[in-house]
A and B are shown apart, each in its own frame.
Chain A
């Protein structure tokens, strides 16, 4: 009896001593897992490559917007998303329900939403702008919302959808980008340390040809169809009159709708999205350039946003507050002259307006050329030595 009670107390003490240790170990493991992916921020570049002015390309915009919606829902803010839509479908005059883009028939899900910010639209979606966004070589006056300001700790998700072929993608039906150019752009990004890991998803015909030529590290790619196969569209809506989504992105959206910011779904689940029985085309993926095992990569590493929280026990001393500027009480006497509104249509003034003096510009190229010719002929005929007779 005494031995039995001794044993239980011993076990109890043992448990008490080691439980906090086990618990902190568990916490450390959790924390370690939290920081193991090595990225500190997430970016997304979502591009829709449809042809301008063609209503049946509604599905490309719906594809991109459904990925945009998932990415926003999982935490990436608008400032970290570069959304490029080549055509406006929501406010198109053919849209029976303006300001909406639906992904499911019977208008179940409006992926356009009420809070969308499109960064590049219409004619701005060109190969040049796309490559400039990726490589960061934008003109200095480009606003921040149009830039991909990623660093070497950013995980970037790139999603492209549109029309494509074996080894190329069509931009607005007037330009193409080849898989070699894309691979080179990613290599530039790697050299400039613009990404930590990059996930490339493409939903076009023969999409797998686009990732065949990648050669930079830390790239993972998914495509909706293999070389020689077409990606097919999913279902039409009779009211809108066009196909609403492509099959691959439709099932991708359904998969992503079940992912929440804390979910543990990993890339292997993403590779299983839309098998051939559902998609008719065979989705492909490429992971040989990726360093981590896809099974250990969480979906939220690319589709969601990381919020790093570091708990510190040190105290931080804030500097003394900035003194507010002295209220300008004495400046009112400066504006003592009476301020008036300008006359909107001063007829008399306009009639007597003198034409403004044009600024003097140096002579144009043609005039200069003409004078050079005249001078040349002159000097050729008369020679330099005769100049002294003239001057």
Chain B
């Protein structure tokens, strides 16, 4: 009895002596948004967000060493290179704005990386170079090809999406690799950054065989500091991993306008990620599709200037999975009216031959009565030598003078061209920006192993505040769905949108790479046959050479020599 009481008190002491575990300062949310598109395709957007209340760049605090939900590899990168914001995306395919509308998170084809460094960094270029190498190892991509010849420093575009006051553009770097291929080897490390990996939650659906069999696939990582709460008194770091995919089963003739989660991903959901504080699936039902299983939870959100209604499925509740413990969504829809996108851009190369050409960028403003300014940023590699005096901007066949132009000319083999212009687009119009260029002849070692494929020019970026038909909400709440809270909204009457144009593929004049080999062969043949035989004729002397006699004769001669008798011939 005494021992029992002693033991109990010991247990009590133990309970009170262990320090209470620190409250979790990081949280993880995951969501999937499914939106049937006007053309019959279906757009699925995964977003995984980890919010962490810590400060990587704080000098006073000891270095962060305990990582829970935030991936350690990214945290170490952020603190080592003093990164304020990091946005990296890998995209396969091109987003067709006219057929699909605006994406939740836009991205250009290939790989795109833009980083805001902290203002304490003294050597931004050195940090940028090392950062690209480290990221190429983390994401298994050839990001080490990003160097000074394809990095630009935009002067007005790409303002930080996170918190901050000073925006000195000296700390911004932007680069794209339009040729970068996205495949399973990029998806594998991306999935490993998630707290639950690909074993539980929404990431279970990410099977590469289905994801890459699509017309558009984009995976991105966005890291930025954001407000921790509505009063915005302290910062928290937000890591968003987004994956956007557009399945084209209908347009490629494989099916009717009905989908299920199983048909899209060849998997169904069985549980939410246990580490997630919220795990939801949103389905866009504004066009009244048939949905099963039905749900009562509805959410209305104004996203991209449009008020849309979503059905919400909460995966943290067990009843969503039903008796079969698996959640498979079936969607059949008929409607096909789409809000025409207000801003849309195209780009192409005009001209003929391999000497000159002309880049045309066409921007459409489809708003019936409002004009708005757009910021066009063009980054052209140095081997397309732009003639800026031929730059013309015309809207409605009249000259349209941009209110701001920033041009940084290229330096051969050092720096690409950077052209940024703020253009006012008149309502319901088409604006065309043309500039002529000349193709450079590269040194023969600078050509890629397949030069006849062509050389890529990265997409142009059109950033705009598009006037919205519907009032946007400027409140920032924690339980807002993730897809509507990516870009901070400052005023109600407009929303920020970024449109990427197509990348260009231009042929540069290529030399005949077999020429050195042919020349060597021909020269050596001429020298060997022509000069060689001539030399031999002149310098060769002839000697009579007795062939060595056969063995029998040699033996006979040996015996004869012993006998002292004259030898045989």
User: A interface vs B, CB < 8 Å?
Assistant: 51-53, 88, 90-91, 97-100, 112-119, 121-124, 139, 141-146, 172-175, 324-325, 327-328, 331-332, 335-336, 338-347, 350-351, 353, 355-356
* With contact pairs A143-B136, A332-B234, A351-B422 given, residues A341 and B163 touching in the complex (Cβ less than 8 Å): yes
Within 8 A of A (CB), among B435-489: 448-450, 453, 463-465, 487-488
Could you say which of B35-43, B209-217, B270-278 contacts chain A? B209-217
With the chains together, A119 CA to B143 CA distance in Å? 11
Q: Report whether A121 and B142 are in contact in the complex, using a CB–CB cutoff of 8 Å.
A: yes
Q: Report whether B159 and A345 are in contact in the complex, using a CB–CB cutoff of 8 Å.
A: yes
B64's nearest neighbour on chain A, judged by CB, is: A325
* With contact pairs A99-B184, A114-B208, A117-B188 given, residues A124 and B62 touching in the complex (Cβ less than 8 Å): no
Beyond A114-B208, A145-B137, A346-B159, list 19 extra A-B contacts (CB 8 Å). Answer: A90-B184, A91-B183, A99-B211, A114-B207, A121-B185, A122-B142, A141-B133, A142-B137, A142-B144, A144-B137, A172-B449, A173-B449, A338-B232, A339-B232, A341-B161, A341-B162, A341-B164, A342-B164, A356-B155
Scoring B183, B207, B233, B234 by chain A CB atoms within 10 A of each residue's CB, the highest score goes to B183
* With contact pairs A143-B133, A328-B61 given, residues A353 and B140 touching in the complex (Cβ less than 8 Å): no
* With contact pairs A121-B142, A124-B142, A141-B133 given, residues A114 and B184 touching in the complex (Cβ less than 8 Å): yes
Contacts of B22 in A (CB 8 A): 324, 327
Can you give 29 contacting A-B residue pairs, CB < 8 Å? Answer: A52-B449, A53-B450, A91-B184, A98-B209, A98-B212, A99-B208, A114-B207, A117-B188, A123-B142, A141-B129, A143-B133, A143-B136, A143-B138, A145-B137, A324-B66, A325-B61, A331-B58, A335-B234, A339-B164, A339-B234, A341-B163, A344-B465, A344-B487, A344-B488, A345-B373, A345-B463, A350-B156, A350-B422, A351-B404
Contacts of B86 in A (CB 8 A): none
B 205-249 to A, binary, CB cutoff 8 A, 1 in contact else 0: 001110111000000000000010000111100000000000000
Q: How far is the CB of B125 from chain A (nearest CB, A)?
A: 13
Q: How far is the CB of A14 from chain B (nearest CB, A)?
A: 51
A100's nearest neighbour on chain B, judged by CB, is: B209
With the chains together, A112 CA to B184 CA distance in Å? 8
Contacts of A175 in B (CB 8 A): 449
With the chains together, A124 CA to B136 CA distance in Å? 12
Among A51, A118, A335, the residue within 8 A (CB) of B140 is: A118
With the chains together, A343 CA to B161 CA distance in Å? 9
With the chains together, A327 CA to B142 CA distance in Å? 40
A98's nearest neighbour on chain B, judged by CB, is: B212
Contacts of A52 in B (CB 8 A): 448-450
Contacts of B235 in A (CB 8 A): 335, 339
Q: Report whether A123 and B145 are in contact in the complex, using a CB–CB cutoff of 8 Å.
A: yes
A347's nearest neighbour on chain B, judged by CB, is: B373
Q: Report whether B188 and A115 are in contact in the complex, using a CB–CB cutoff of 8 Å.
A: yes
Q: Report whether B404 and A353 are in contact in the complex, using a CB–CB cutoff of 8 Å.
A: yes
Scoring B155, B449, B465 by chain A CB atoms within 10 A of each residue's CB, the highest score goes to B449
Contacts of B61 in A (CB 8 A): 325, 328, 331
With the chains together, A327 CA to B66 CA distance in Å? 13
Q: How far is the CB of B325 from chain A (nearest CB, A)?
A: 23
Contacts of B92 in A (CB 8 A): 91
B203 in contact (CB, < 8 A): no
Interface contact tally, CB-CB below 8 A = 162
Q: Report whether B465 and A345 are in contact in the complex, using a CB–CB cutoff of 8 Å.
A: yes
With the chains together, A119 CA to B406 CA distance in Å? 38
Contacts of A335 in B (CB 8 A): 233-235
Q: Report whether B464 and A339 are in contact in the complex, using a CB–CB cutoff of 8 Å.
A: no
With the chains together, A85 CA to B159 CA distance in Å? 37
Q: Report whether B62 and A142 are in contact in the complex, using a CB–CB cutoff of 8 Å.
A: no
* With contact pairs A116-B185, A331-B60, A351-B403 given, residues A345 and B464 touching in the complex (Cβ less than 8 Å): yes
With the chains together, A100 CA to B449 CA distance in Å? 25
Contacts of B94 in A (CB 8 A): none
Q: Report whether A99 and B212 are in contact in the complex, using a CB–CB cutoff of 8 Å.
A: yes
Among A116, A145, A344, A351, the residue within 8 A (CB) of B184 is: A116
With the chains together, A51 CA to B133 CA distance in Å? 25
Among A88, A324, A342, A344, the residue within 8 A (CB) of B183 is: A88
Contacts of B138 in A (CB 8 A): 143
Q: Report whether A340 and B453 are in contact in the complex, using a CB–CB cutoff of 8 Å.
A: no
* With contact pairs A339-B232, A342-B164, A351-B403 given, residues A53 and B453 touching in the complex (Cβ less than 8 Å): yes
With the chains together, A123 CA to B447 CA distance in Å? 11
B160 in contact (CB, < 8 A): yes
Q: Report whether A343 and B159 are in contact in the complex, using a CB–CB cutoff of 8 Å.
A: yes
